[in-house]
Amino acid sequence: MQRLLANPRAEVFNAEDAGTVMRFLTAYLAVSGQPAQLVGTARMYQRPIGVLVEALRQLGAEIEYAGQEGYPPLQLRGWHPRLAAAEPDEPAELTIRGDISSQYISALLMIGPVLPAGLRLWLTGKVGSRPYIRMTQSLMQHFGATCRDLGTVLEVRPGAYQPANYTVESDWSAASYWYAMVALAPAGSTIILPGLREHSWQGDQAIVGIMDQLGVATEFFPDGVQLTQQAVSAPFEQDFSDCPDLAQTVAVVAAALGVPVAMTGLESLRIKETDRILALQTELAKFGAGLVEEGEERFVVQPGEFEVSGQIIETYHDHRMAMAFAPLAVRGPLTVLAPEVVRKSYPRFWKELERAGFTTANQ
């Protein structure tokens, strides 16, 4: 994102394999009105974007599919804002499903202030990843936007963003892998993670409560947290609707610890960097464990005779597959294929493992 925004007048923008970049830049480039092509990796061309494109077209964007209908790559040809409202002074109105990627919703919200009369977004059905929507609105407000969350209706008033100071907090999604290491490490293990906030906008702070049940206690300090290993609780059920990026980490830890965790709210995992449910099932089987579907969209981790003994982990072009399975190295040697996938969200992951005492080697 930083690289692409550094050259905002480019003719071609390559989002590579970053879904957030693809969705946010689609909206950003649409309202900029400049002709541009938005491309990515082969996997990106399998990830749907039609819902966002159709919404932007209703607002006045000229967007064409350069390949398969409903999927990237995209050709943006201009912006001709039209009033999608009943009254001239009323915000443009769109209806969008709430159970799709929250990135579509955030992308639309962020361009709301530059629309002639703002935006009114109606959400239908079950709304997933709600914390990401709240995070978007909170940051927009921090930078001068006016927006309201009325449950199934999100409103953004017109007006320019304003410069403001803001310190970016550490990433709770990245912290989840260190929680996994403490959970799997020898008894009494502890670690300090700086920069994490007790009062956070990030939905993945849910890892605190989830890992409390999987044997990791969290103590907050002004400048971060201390994680300490504790006893593991009984089997439990967890809804990942608001924190789907934690699902892989939790499944791996639960399997390794022998805790049968029931997991729901995984609907979005099939359209991530890979089909994460299928990938988890395939890789956990290498350790004698499973992720079994019991009922509609309800999966249960079924532990087996779990042993880490040199297994080779496929990562499927997915950064979170690499980092979810890497903590198993606490229990024994393993090989992670295509380790460079972590550059998408945690480029120094392997270096920080080495700082923590792990031995890594490229093959």
Catalytic residue among 17, 204, 242, 245: 245
- Strands (E) across the chain are located at 12-14, 36-39, 61-65, 74-79, 92-97, 119-124, 147-149, 153-156, 190-194, 216-221, 224-229, 237-239, 262-264, 290-293, 298-302, 312-313, 335-336
For residue 91, whether the previous peptide bond is cis, meaning omega lies within 30 degrees of 0, is no
CA–CA distance, 328 with 326 (Å, rounded to integer): 5
Q: Which residues pair with 217 in a beta bridge?
A: 228
| Dihedral class, residue 338 (left if φ above 0, else alpha if ψ from -120 to 50, else beta) | left
- Residue with tokens 């999927």, as numbered in its chain: 71
CA–CA distance, 361 with 209 (Å, rounded to integer): 34
Dihedral (CA of 327, 328, 334, 336) sign: negative
- In the chain, DSSP finds a helix count (H) and a strand count (E) of 11, 17
Task: Please say if 245 is a catalytic residue.
Answer: yes
Tokens coding 340: 């460079």
Q: Which residues are catalytic?
A: 245
